[in-house]
């Protein structure tokens, strides 16, 4: 659900009230019933979900329905503050942990989740709840799944961007960027694009400095770190070019009428370098994907929006897109696992047949 005082409950209710979205999968919402009911009432939506208490034996039975709320309510609450606070941080953190636990169950377990879609959380609220060790979902998920390599990728209608660094102070970039970290973002982004059906992704890599360093006149990171990472990726067979100035490369990646896009993916060095064009062009349409995990995880491209929470003003477009992409990626992963299993069972002779 994300922070119960943010717009998470509202966009979840609105998204799953859409029968077209709800028909895509079976959904378990880790959250609080009172927040869901308040959001539904404000939006004029009749509750359509089943409810089961957290830890109840009824959860497994309820999961046969298309939408089930796993209610975390331990007491009778009367509402949630539309601002960062300890309660919102504690609850939203615990719900992510519950989702992770369900995604780590064996394939045969009826409670196993094939994908996780996260509602927006407040990093300040997590800090107030004593969870400040994790700057956000991405870092928590990577830790819990033991992902040695991970990255944030944003997918819009005609632009895909992967970040080399994510929730990091800008002044720390110089001491954080490495050839390996840049290469990992390129490689993970390439793998994600192939999972999305792009057979040979064309990848552009941003420079860090203005004008991509102007051949060392405006910084040496391009020559010292970025170019070597690109060279290694190219030697591995990836179609990758750069480094390019960040103020021009996004136009080439998006394209325009009469001017086809030249690239399928842009690798950005830091958070705002990559997200400003994504959110400017595709607000409420783009999706955040965590790369490098053994499960699919997506989220909307917006935050908690405490200023409009509880006012029935939130747009559910981004979380609908996040749900659709999670279903699509989980389906492709399932198909790939099935194909791998069939190939393994068939033995080398059968597997070699056309």
Q: Return the pLDDT at 256.
A: 80
Give the CA dihedral 131, 71, 64, 339, nearest 10 degrees.
Answer: -10
pLDDT score of 340 more than 50: yes
pLDDT score of 342 more than 80: no
Q: Which residues, 6+ apart, have CB-to-CB distance to 184 below 8 Å? A: 149, 151
pLDDT score of 312 more than 60: yes
Q: How far apart are CA 253 and CA 98, in angstroms?
A: 38
In this structure, what DSSP letter does residue 222 have? Answer: I
Helix axes 317-351, 179-195, angle to 10 degrees: 90
pLDDT score of 324 more than 50: yes
Backbone angles phi, psi at 298, to 5 degrees: -130, 165
**Number of residues assigned to the chain:** 354
Nearest residue to 114 via CA among 319, 342, 329: 329
pLDDT score of 275 more than 90: yes
Q: What is the mean pLDDT of the chain?
A: 90
Q: Return the pLDDT at 337.
A: 55
Q: Return the pLDDT at 54.
A: 82
Nearest residue to 223 via CA among 263, 279, 177: 177
Lowest mean pLDDT among 24-28, 78-82, 165-169, 344-348: 344-348
Residue 76 or residue 216, greater confidence: 216
* 166 close to 272: Cβ distance less than 8 angstroms: no
Q: Which residues, 6+ apart, have CB-to-CB distance to 93 below 8 Å? A: 121, 126, 129, 131, 140
Please give the average per-residue pLDDT across 62-69, as a whole number: 83
Q: Return the pLDDT at 76.
A: 63
pLDDT score of 121 more than 60: yes
Tokens encoding 158: 């005609």
Local confidence band at 255 (pLDDT 50, 70, 90 cut-offs)? confident
Q: DSSP letter string over 50-97?
A: EEEETT-THHHHHTTSSEEEEE--SS------SS--HHHHHHHHHHHH
Q: Return the pLDDT at 327.
A: 95
Confidence (pTM): 0.86
* 178 close to 282: Cβ distance less than 8 angstroms: no
Please give the average per-residue pLDDT across 55-83, as a whole number: 78
Q: Which contiguous run of DSSP H or E holds residue 191?
A: helix 179-195
* 284 close to 302: Cβ distance less than 8 angstroms: yes
Please give the average per-residue pLDDT across 153-176, as a whole number: 92
Please give the average per-residue pLDDT across 325-349, as a whole number: 65
């Amino acid at each position: 659900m994300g922070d119960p005082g943010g717009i998470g409950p509202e966009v979840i209710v609105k998204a799953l009230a859409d029968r077209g979205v709800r028909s895509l999968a079976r959904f378990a919402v880790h959250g609080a019933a009172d927040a869901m009911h308040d959001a539904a009432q404000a939006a004029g939506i009749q509750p359509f979900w089943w409810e089961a208490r957290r830890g109840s034996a009824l959860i497994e039975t309820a999961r046969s329905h298309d939408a089930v709320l796993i209610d975390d309510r331990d007491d009778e609450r009367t509402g949630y503050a539309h601002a960062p606070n300890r309660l919102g941080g504690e609850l939203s953190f615990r719900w992510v942990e519950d989702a992770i636990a369900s995604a780590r169950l064996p394939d045969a377990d009826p409670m196993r989740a094939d994908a996780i879609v996260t509602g927006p959380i407040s990093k300040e609220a997590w800090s107030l709840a004593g969870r400040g060790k994790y700057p956000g979902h991405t870092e928590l998920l990577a830790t819990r799944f033991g992902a040695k390599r991970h990255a944030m990728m944003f997918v819009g209608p005609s632009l895909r961007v992967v970040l080399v660094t994510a929730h990091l102070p800008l002044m720390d970039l110089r001491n954080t960027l490495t050839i390996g970290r840049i290469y990992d973002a390129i490689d993970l982004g390439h793998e994600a694009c192939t999972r999305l059906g792009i057979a040979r992704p064309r990848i552009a890599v941003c420079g860090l400095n203005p004008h991509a360093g102007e051949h060392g006149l405006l910084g040496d990171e391009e020559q010292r770190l970025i170019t070597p990472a690109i060279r290694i990726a190219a030697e591995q067979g990836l179609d990758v070019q750069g480094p390019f100035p960040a103020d021009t490369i996004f136009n080439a990646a998006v394209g325009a009428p009469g001017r086809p896009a030249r690239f399928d993916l842009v690798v950005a060095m830091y958070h705002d370098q990559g997200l400003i064009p994504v959110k400017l062009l595709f607000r409420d349409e783009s999706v955040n994907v965590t790369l490098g995990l053994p499960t699919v995880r997506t989220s909307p491209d917006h935050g908690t929006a405490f200023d409009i929470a509880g006012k029935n003003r939130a747009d559910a477009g981004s979380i609908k897109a996040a749900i659709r992409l999670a279903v699509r990626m989980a389906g492709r992963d399932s198909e790939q696992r099935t194909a791998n299993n069939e190939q393994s069972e068939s033995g080398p002779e059968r597997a070699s047949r056309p």
